[in-house]
Amino acid sequence: MLTVDAYAAPSATEPLIKTTIERRAVGPNDVLIEIAYAGICHSDIHTVRGDWGPISYPQVVGHEIVGFVTEVGSDVTLHSVGDRVGVGCMVNSCRECDNCLAGAEQYCLKGNTGTYAAVDTDGTITQGGYSTHIVVVEDFVLKVPEAIPFEAAAPLLCAGITTYSPLSHWNAGPGKRVAVVGMGGLGHMAVKIAHAMGAEVTVLSQTLGKKEDGLRLGADHYFATGDSATFTELKNSFDLIINTVSAAIDINAYLALLRLDGTLVSVGAPGEPLPVRVFTLFGNRRTFAGSSIGSIRETQEMLDFCAEHGIAPETELVSAEDINEAYERVLSSDVRYRFVIDASTIA
Ligand code: NAP
Ligand code: ZN
Ligand code: ZN
């Protein structure tokens, strides 16, 4: 066992505080990673505040992790001491269900092991990346290409893959009109990736406050959803809409923006339901879909795609003591566009 420094939520209502946690001893298939940077995802906030249901406390969150390998188990073949690596939203899966065997372990039928707030194979609750070190089984560890600046690489491990996966699955590319709802951590990555894939990209944000940024990041068009004229003007327009909004929105108003055979994919994960009117789906034979992160193979593909296209998240580096303030800014949509914790300030 290894005792390491971390920032944990003591309860659903209290600020995160500095603490120590135990990491398991490095097993034959494990790597020990000294964490350099950890991104702050809105899911971290949903989780610690109980939006998705009760969890046990204290809980360390964080699933956008990059760092250096400092120790490897005796049977490890994929990684070496000194490697630049990343860990995303899952740290294991059953490896034997139909979905795992199909290479879609994020959809493991027994539930993948989340990087935090999940029951690990040894029965303990997993603790995430707001910490100085983490021990992870080698095949759930990604290689971070040198071409991606290290602090900017962290958010790719969730915000990057969560948007890359549906964009790739639903064939965003030349000739496709893609809309991104919400210009936050996931949304700004969706804009960059969809643009790099060659799609025509429209941002649907609450206001025009981030329009200049959106266009600079690769959007072709930018509309305010606070203006009802937007929904009239864009009716029957899009092949694919990626909804990244963390709160419940009137999903039927957005479904109506899909053209024939268009698909709206929700990656945003509010605790409340998003009620759909079937008649809205009937028009244009529309599809309402969901998507959860991406597989390990696809995550490596996304990292290599970003390196090749010179894509990296827009980040604001914060010290561990500023995590609680960063949470408030995320909750008020005041993030440009991902907070990343400098893990050296956690110790
Ligand atoms: P974020 O940085 O807070 O971005 C969310 C954006 O949604 C905001 O920037 C804002 O964009 C918009 N928004 C927020 N509240 C709104 C409201 N009441 N009405 C309309 N728009 C609103 O969050 P994130 O880290 O990108 O995460 C977004 C969501 O995705 C969260 O629910 C998170 O849990 C979920 N998530 C899902 C997966 C998955 O695998 N499916 C993975 C990661 C995260 P504008 O200011 O542009 O309007
Ligand atoms: Zn996340
Ligand atoms: Zn499985």
Each residue's pLDDT tens digit in the chain (347 positions)?
A: 999 999 999 999 999 999 999 999 999 999 999 999 999 999 999 999 999 999 999 999 999 999 999 999 999 999 999 999 999 999 999 999 999 999 999 999 999 999 999 999 999 999 999 999 999 999 999 999 999 999 999 999 999 999 999 999 999 999 999 999 999 999 999 999 999 999 999 999 999 999 999 999 999 999 999 999 999 999 999 999 999 999 999 999 999 999 999 999 999 999 999 999 999 999 999 999 999 999 999 999 999 999 999 999 999 999 999 999 999 999 999 999 999 999 999 99
Sequence-separated (6 or more) residues with CB below 8 Å from residue 83: 68, 69, 143
In this prediction, residue 20 carries a pLDDT of 98
287 Cβ closer than 6 Å to some ligand 1 atom: no
Q: Could you tell me which residues come within 8 angstroms of residue 96 by beta carbon, excluding any fewer than 6 positions away?
A: none
Which ligand has the nearest atom to the CA of 327?
A: 1
Kindly state whether residues 23 and 55 are assigned to the same domain: yes
The residue contributing the CA closest to ligand 1 atom 22 is 245
| Ligand 1 binding pocket includes 41 (Cβ within 6 Å) | yes
Regarding whether 81 and 189 lie in a shared domain, the answer is no
Instruction: Classify 208 as helix, strand or coil.
Output: coil
Rounded to the nearest whole angstrom, what is the distance from the C-alpha of residue 186 to the centroid of ligand 1?
Answer: 7
- 296 in a structural domain: no
What is the distance in A from the centroid of ligand 3 to the CA of 46? 25
Do 10 and 147 fall into the same domain?
yes
Same domain for 225 and 266?
Answer: yes
Backbone angles phi, psi at 163, to 5 degrees: -95, -35
- In this structure, the residue with its CA closest to atom 32 of ligand 1 is 246
- pLDDT attached to residue 86: 98
In a domain, 300, yes or no: no
β-pairing verdict for 177-181 and 200-205: parallel
Say how many domains are in the chain: 2
Q: How far is the CA of 40 from the centre of ligand 1 (A)?
A: 12
Residue having the nearest C-alpha atom to atom 1 of ligand 1: 184
- Decide: 214 in ligand 1 pocket, CB within 6 A: no
Q: Mutate which of 230, 231, 242, 244 to test ligand 1's pocket (most atoms within 8 Å of Cβ)?
A: 244
6 within some domain: yes
- Distance from Cα 91 to the centre of ligand 2, integer Å: 13
Q: Is 155 in the pocket of ligand 1 (CB under 6 A)?
A: no
308 belongs to a structural domain:
no
CATH code of 34's domain = 3.90.180.10
For the chain, the first-to-last Cα distance in angstroms comes to: 18
Q: Across 41-184, where does the E strand assignment appear?
A: 65-72, 84-87, 90-92, 113-114, 133-137, 142-143, 177-181
Query: Cβ(112) to ligand 1 under 6 A?
Result: no
- The CATH code of the domain that includes 205 is 3.40.50.720
Ligand 1 in reach of 158 Cβ (< 6 A): yes
Domain that holds residue 80: 2-157+314-345
247 ligand 1 Cβ < 6 A: yes
In a domain, 68, yes or no: yes
Q: What does each C-alpha distance from 299 to 104, 115, 143, 151, 193 come to in angstroms?
A: 11, 15, 10, 17, 13
DSSP-assigned letter for residue 284: G
293 lines ligand 1 (CB under 6 A): yes
What pLDDT does residue 344 have? 98
Note the pLDDT of residue 190.
Answer: 99
| Structure token digits, residue 36 | 């350099």
Do residue 276 and residue 187 come from a single domain? yes
- The answer to whether the CB of 153 is under 6 A from ligand 1 is no
Judge if 103 and 53 occupy the same domain.
yes
Examine the domain organization and report whether 153 and 166 are in the same domain. no
Together in a domain, 141 and 188: no
- Ligand lying closest to the C-alpha of residue 206: 1
Query: Which residue's alpha carbon is at the smallest distance from atom 34 of ligand 1?
Result: 43
The reply to whether 298 falls in a domain is no
Q: Is ligand 1 within 6 A of the CB of residue 251?
A: no
CA distance 337 to 214: 11
Together in a domain, 213 and 286: yes
Is residue 90 located within the same domain as residue 35? Answer: yes
CA-nearest of 112, 172, 159 to 295 is 112
- 54 and 66 in a single domain? The answer is yes
- What SS3 class is residue 27? coil
Who surrounds ion ligand 2 at CB < 5 A? 41, 43, 158
Across the chain, where does the E strand assignment appear?
Answer: 2-8, 17-23, 30-39, 65-72, 84-87, 90-92, 113-114, 133-137, 142-143, 177-181, 200-205, 221-224, 238-243, 258-266, 287-290, 315-318, 338-342
CA atoms within 13 A on the CB side of 43: 25
Domain match, 133 and 236 both: no
Pocket test for ligand 1, best of 65, 156, 165, 186 (most atoms within 8 A of CB): 186
